[in-house]
Structures are given as C-alpha cells and as structure tokens.
A and B are shown apart, each in its own frame.
Chain A
Amino acid sequence: MNSRTVSKEASSGGALPNALALTLLLPLTLLLAGAFVTPILVLIFESLFAPHLTFEHYAKGLTQPLYLGVLMRTIRTACVVTAMCFLLGYPVALVMSRQKGRRVIYLAACVLIPLWTSVLVRSYAWIVLLQRKGIVNTALMDAGIISEPLKLLYTDAAVMLAMTHVLLPYMILPIYSALIAIPPDLDKAARNLGAGPIDSFFRVVFPNSLPGVYAGTIIVFILALGFYVTPALVGGPQSMTIATLIAQQTTELLNWPFAGALAGILLAATLGLVSVFGRFLRIGKGV
C-alpha cells in the first residue's frame, strides 16, 4: 500500500468515501425498490387508472355503508385493542423496570418469546381455547357456570382478545425502555419530599414514561389497523376488517382496482399516523 492511499484514508477520518458507500447501499436499494416500492406503486396505480384516472374505487370504499361499516369496525377494534394493551401492558413494564439482574431476563423472556412466536400459532391457540367444545367452554360447563356452550369464537370479542394477546409485547417493550431511562433518584426525591408511592407514581414516574406510552400506543394501533392473520382465523364473516376485506376482494372476487383502493386507504392511514406521531416511534420487534 502506498503512502498516498494511506493519507487519503486517514484524512477522511475513517469515514467511507461516497462511491464506496453508494456501492454498499446498492443491494439494499435495489431490494427495497424492486420488492417494496414498485409493487405498492403498481397496486395504487391499479386502483387509480382503470384505464382512466378515477377515484370511484376510493369513493366506494369510503361512502358505501357496507364498506364504511368495515372501516369503522377496524378502527373500533384497533382502539379497543390499543386500550387493552395499555391497561395490561403498563403494569408489566412497571414491574419489569423495578427488577434487577436475572429476574429481568426471565420477565423479558416472557415478553419476547410470545413476540417471536408465529402469529399463526398464537391465533390457533385462541381457536383451541374458544371454540364450541374448546377449553374455555368445557371448563365453564364442568364448573356448572353455563349449561350450553357459549359462542366465543368467530366474534368481534374473540378478535379483540386474540389481537390484544398478539400485540401486547409491542406495548410493553417501549414503555419498559422509557421507564428504565428514568433516574431512580427522581422517585426517591419525590418520596423524600413527602409524596406517597401513588402520588409519586402519578406525578413523577408516569409523566416521564409518556414517550414510551406514546410509542407503544402508536405502534399497536398501526399494527392493529392492518392486521390480517388473527381476524381472518379467529373472526367470523360478521367481523370483517379492512385487511380481511382486501384479501376477500383479491382472492375471491378478483376486484383488483377496489382492493388497491382499500390498500391505498389503509396505507394512507398508516403513513399519516407515522408522519404525525413518527417521532415517538421505535419500531421493530424489540430488536
């Protein structure tokens, strides 16, 4: 190696020259352009030009009572699931943040293992629990609480319950990271100044954990809006969401322009939420 090259590398402070950086980014750019951006643009194109520019498919999705009902149910489900995730998840994050050493790892495993267990397996588990002769009905009948099996599966409630189960880790993890970032001295100081544990929690700890709450809320809400597998398996024909409607339009009715429009609406809602609340986001399965 000659001294000229060495001095060039040295003068850049070890940073990559632009040509090299571009080369390194090329495979990723091709992958995202080819497998992500282009297909989505083709789908949106399909919904807008059939063959001339038209918004009729978007209008249909947003105005016809049948489809408007599906949209409303999707939003309602996402709201309920997000609220349940918060109510169930916050105390878990709080308890986790107060543990030390090995116990943190055990608790984290309880959150991370479900997160990385296939959504299909977890939805199947709820089918086994909730079906007509399932574990819940059998237990309730054996206990003499009910005499006839209840219809639990293929209902809106089943979808909400199973989705809460699937999405809960996405709420716990960001709240946990926000909580462990709060210096423990803050709580101690509040207590020394005479605040009780509840007072100190609501006036010191909780307000400081809000960034994590916002991050968890927005990611759970976004994932719940577009969730497909769980509503498709656990929900019935009456509990259709926008994702299962898109699937039905493509696989059964082959109505691509309308499916494209519904996908466009869902995409716009998602990107809208990300652009407004994106600064709170720390995405990715707890990676």
Chain B
Amino acid sequence: MQPRKAIDWGRLSLNAYAAAVLVFLMVPSLLIIPISLGSEPFIQFPPRSLSLRWYLELIRDPAWIASFLFSLKIAIATTVMATIVGTLASLALVRGRLRFASALQVLTLAPLVVPHIVIAVALYLVFAPIGLTGSFLGFLIAHSMLSVPYVVITVTSALQKLDPSLEFAALSCGASRPKAFLLVVLPNIAPGVAAGAIFAFLASFDEATVSFFISGVEGKTITRKLFEDIDYNLTPVIASVSSVILLISILLMLLVERMRRPTTQD
C-alpha cells in the first residue's frame, strides 16, 4: 500500500516565493503597456478607457520618428559591423595558435564589465573635438565596440562545439580557406552567429549611457530622447515609446530562444 503523499509545505512555499520574485521581475515593465493605451492626458492605471491616442501622438511627432530612425540605422549598421568583426576574430581566437589570444579575449570582454559611465565620458572626451558626437560614424564605432563582446561570446562557443576535423576534411579535399569557411564552417555556426547578431542589435538599440553622452542636438538616439523626456516632461507618450521598445526586445529575445532550441522536448 502506498502511503498518502503529504503536502510538501517546504516546496510549496519555495515555489510561491520564486513565483512572487518572477512577478516582481516581469510586472513593472509590462505595466507600461496598459498605461500606454490610456486616453487621459496623464498617467493612469488602470486606464478608464482604451485608446491609441499616445501612439498616434508618437508617430506624428517628427522628433520621436527622427530619433527612432537614427537608432534603427545605428543598430543595423552596428549589427553588421560587430557580427563581421566578432566572427572573424572568433575564428582566430578558437582556431588560431597565437600566444596573446587569451589576453585579447579578456580585453574583448572588458567593455562588459568596465562601467558604461566611464566609457561614455571617455568617448565624449575624444569624440567631441573631432566632431564625432551626434554623428552616425561616432555611434557606429562606439556601439560596435560595446556589442562585439556578445558576438565573440556566442560565436566562440559555437566554434568550440564544432568538430575541427570537418574543416580539416574540406581543406584536405582541396578547398581554399575562404571556401571551407563559407561552405563548411559558417553553415554550422550560423545559429551562434545569428544569436550574436541579435544580441548586438539589442545592445546597440537599447544602449542608454554611452548614447546619452555622445548624442548631439541633431543626432539623437531614441534612448537619449527617452532619457530627456523622462527627466523633463513625463507624458504618456513615453509609455507608448517604452512599449514599442519593450515589444522589440521581447520579439528579438523570443527569436533567439527559438533559434537556440530548434527542437524542444517535453
């Protein structure tokens, strides 16, 4: 006879605690969405009636549109640049035999730990005199440096999982190095490269601190514009901009998860 299973209070309270923490993690950001759908000229929760008023205000405001397009342009260019630079470097870091490679790998990851405020004021100091603040080129350089670590992390881990004998076989059969890379290595590490590219895009598009400092009066990213508006005029338009940014992040993260786990088992 099986003994009746007693309720495991310990486990139950642990799960309840974890669930409460996850609610704390998720809810504040998600609250932005109903607030953005309100119709009153001030922030109201829960909104009395739903409307798209603040989204219409958003798309009619040339300043928001300009900063959104500027951020988008920077993020796309950064993604291309960081993905190419990071993938090439990862090949050398994993397959090369250079002595200083491990030191360079540490340096590559340094922008992830060095406080962004330090990087931000340092970049402002050198960019301002040469006219790179508020410029597309300045942002491309700064954001590529900040995003490249994510590409290096994902691509090196994909390369480490790839059996080097595949590439070796292609080379032995007479393929040139570029051909072996394009036909054998790249298709195998493509999920890692794509994940790195998405992380690079988000790292650029969401980046706030460095963008705050190297923006100009004209060349302003959406994060800089958001920063200013949160500080000075807290209207519900900010909630609609935040919701758009939030949804972009969620969609891209879901895409990464989908790519990482092509087959899910229950």
Query: Which residues in A have some Cβ–Cβ distance to B below 8 Å?
Result: 1, 6, 9-10, 13-16, 18, 20-22, 24-25, 27-29, 31-32, 34-40, 42-43, 46, 88-89, 91-92, 94-96, 101-102, 105, 107-114, 116-129, 131, 133-135, 138, 165, 168-169, 197-198, 219, 222-223, 225-229, 232-233, 243, 246-247, 250-251, 256, 259-260, 263, 266-267, 270-271, 274, 281, 283-285, 287
Interface residues of B in 97-156 (CB under 8 A from A): 97-98, 101, 104, 107-127, 141-142, 144-145, 148-150, 152-154
Among the listed stretches B12-20, B52-60, B61-69, which one makes contact with chain A, having 4 or more residues with CB under 8 Å of it? B12-20
Residue interface bits B32-76, CB-to-A below 8 A is 1, else 0: 100100000011010000000000000000000000000000000
Cβ A18 vs Cβ B121 within 8 A: no
A9 and B172 in contact, given A32-B107, A120-B223 (Cβ under 8 angstroms): yes
The residue of chain B having its C-beta at the shortest distance from the C-beta of A30 within the complex is B85
- Using a CB-CB cutoff of 8 Å, which residues 155-178 of chain B contact chain A? 164-165, 167-168, 171-172, 174, 176-177
Assembly CA distance A89 to B25 (angstroms): 10
Q: State whether A35 and B239 are in contact (beta carbons under 8 Å apart), knowing that A92-B18, A128-B43, A222-B113 are contacts in the complex.
A: no
Chain B interface residue number, banded: 35 or more
Residues of chain B contacted by A14 (CB below 8 angstroms): 95, 164-165, 167-168, 171
Among B104, B112, B208, B246, point to the contact of A29 (Cβ < 8 A).
Answer: B104
Q: Closest approach, in angstroms, between the C-beta of B223 and any C-beta of chain A? A: 6
Q: Looking at the complex, which one of A1, A32, A40 makes contact with B108 (CB distance below 8 Å)?
A: A32
Residue among A111, A228, A256 with the most chain B CB within 10 A? A228
Is the CB–CB distance between A42 and B122 below 8 Å?
yes
Tell whether, in the assembled complex, residue B117 and residue A266 are in contact, meaning their CB atoms are under 8 Å apart: yes
Nearest-neighbour CB distance to chain A for B134, whole angstroms, equals: 14
Inter-chain contact A128/B165, CB cutoff 8 Å: no
Measured CB to CB, the closest approach of chain B to A258, in angstroms, equals 11
CB pair A95–B15 under 8 Å, yes or no, is yes
Contacts of A271 in B (CB 8 A): 114
With A15-B97, A125-B31 as known contacts, state yes or no: A165 contacts B230, CB within 8 Å.
Answer: no
28 A–B contact pairs at CB < 8 A? Answer: A14-B167, A14-B171, A28-B104, A28-B148, A35-B144, A40-B114, A107-B22, A111-B25, A112-B257, A113-B250, A118-B246, A124-B230, A124-B242, A128-B35, A138-B45, A165-B25, A198-B10, A226-B115, A229-B208, A233-B227, A246-B117, A267-B118, A271-B114, A281-B113, A284-B112, A284-B149, A287-B154, A287-B196
Residues of B206-221 whose CB lies within 8 A of A: 206, 208-209, 212-213
